[in-house]
Structures are given as C-alpha cells and as structure tokens.
Amino acid sequence: KQEVTQIPAALSVPEGENLVLNCSFTDSAIYNLQWFRQDPGKGLTSLLLIQSSQREQTSGRLNASLDKSSGRSTLYIAASQPGDSATYLCAGGRYGQNFVFGPGTRLSVLP
Amino acid sequence: NAGVTQTPKFQVLKTGQSMTLQCAQDMNHEYMSWYRQDPGMGLRLIHYSVGAGITDQGEVPNGYNVSRSTTEDFPLRLLSAAPSQTSVYFCASSYGGGSDYEQYFGPGTRLTVT
C-alpha cells in the first residue's frame, strides 16, 4: 500500500526566508505528482502538477521537483511571505491509480 | 466557470440519520471522487467515478453510497450516520482518471455526527 510522508509536519519561519518542504512515497513509481495549498477551513488549491515526462515545475516563487528514482519530491518557496501561511499537501500515484495524499506540512510565516 | 461546488457547507446530524452531500462540476470532467479529511490522516478516498453510470470504491467506502447519473453531479449518501463519520468531506474532479490528470477540489462540507 502506498504511504506518503511529509516533513516537517509544521514549520514556523520569519518573513523573507527561503524554505523547502519534503514529500516522500514508499512506492517510487509515481506517475504524476501534485502539490496543493489548503487555507484553514477551506478546500485544496492546486499549486503545481509534475507530469510523467517532467522532473520539475515552477510557478512564481514556487518550484517543485520530483526524483522518480527515490519517490521524493520537494517544494521550494522563495522569499516567503505571511500570505504563504497555510497547509501544503502533496499527492501522487501510479499510472491509472488514484492519488494518495500526504498528511501535510503546516507553514506559518511570521511578519 | 464555478468549478467544483459542494452543498451544504456545514451539517450536524444525529446518529442514525441519513443525508446526501451534493457535488457538482461544470468543467465536463469525466472523473469525480469523494474524500474525507481527518486530523493527522490526510485525505482518504471514499468512492470515485470514471464517468456517468460507473462508480467504484476507494479506501474507506463503508457507510457511504454513491451514484452518477450525469457527468456534472456526484452525490454522496450517508446511509445511517455514525460519530466516526464526523469529518470534512471534499469532492474533486479531473479530466481523466486516477493520478493521470490534475485534480480540482470543492470547498468542502464539514459534517458533525452527535
């Protein structure tokens, strides 16, 4: 059974820091990997999708990479801002199988 | 486009009551799914559908029922509510099935069973 770990579980940083969130899968045969943001009491907002032929994706201050040999992904957030405070979840799965979600990393960026 | 919509936003049930959580999408997506989110456990798949008339079970299907009569709608029915079903429920849709395509989520329904 695929299991997903996200490290750290929670993170508190001062504004302006660059930070890295980690996600790892017990089954490294990930087809697509998606990173989401979830604000308190809200739904999930898609941030980045790394498709099967890709190794990384970038959107503004966000960069996500996927190492398929190890089943590990990192989400890099540059120059963090208080508005980045949220829970970040990763999800991935084998081809033709459903996404499996990690438990999330709760990020607080202090002004 | 409204994207994925869910109703109600909040619901309180007594043990044994039944109810239906509504989900609709206007993106003409074939694949729709229901998840529950519990603290510290991430999202777990309840049921999913790869198209109208086709549904299948996910990781935690017991106590829930689904049907898909149209592409747009995918309701989730709680047959006899139990306190263990207290959770936040999310509906999602995507162009195709499984992890092959980007998923879009609704805002969620927060259910409390007393």
Q: Which chain A residues are closer than 8 Å to B100 by Cβ?
A: 31-32, 95-96
Asked if B101 lies within 8 A of A99 by C-beta distance, the reply is no
Going by pLDDT thresholds of 50, 70 and 90, the confidence category of residue A69 is confident
3-state secondary structure of B14: coil
A93 interfaces chain B, CB cutoff of 8 Å: yes
Q: What tens digit of pLDDT does each residue of A15-51 get?
A: 999 999 999 998 888 888 999 999 998 999 999 999 8
Between strands A10-14 and A105-110, the pairing is parallel
What is the full per-residue pLDDT of chain B (114 aa) written as tens digits?
Answer: 789 999 999 999 999 999 999 999 999 999 999 999 998 778 999 999 999 999 999 999 999 999 999 999 999 999 999 999 999 999 999 998 777 788 999 999 999 999
| Distance between B16 CA and the closest CA of chain A, angstroms | 26
Most B CBs within 10 Å: which of A26, A31, A44, as the mutation test of the B interface? A44
Query: pLDDT exceeding 70 applies to what percent of chain A?
Result: 100
What is the Cα–Cα distance from A63 to A54, expressed in whole angstroms? 13
Q: What is the DSSP letter of A9?
A: S
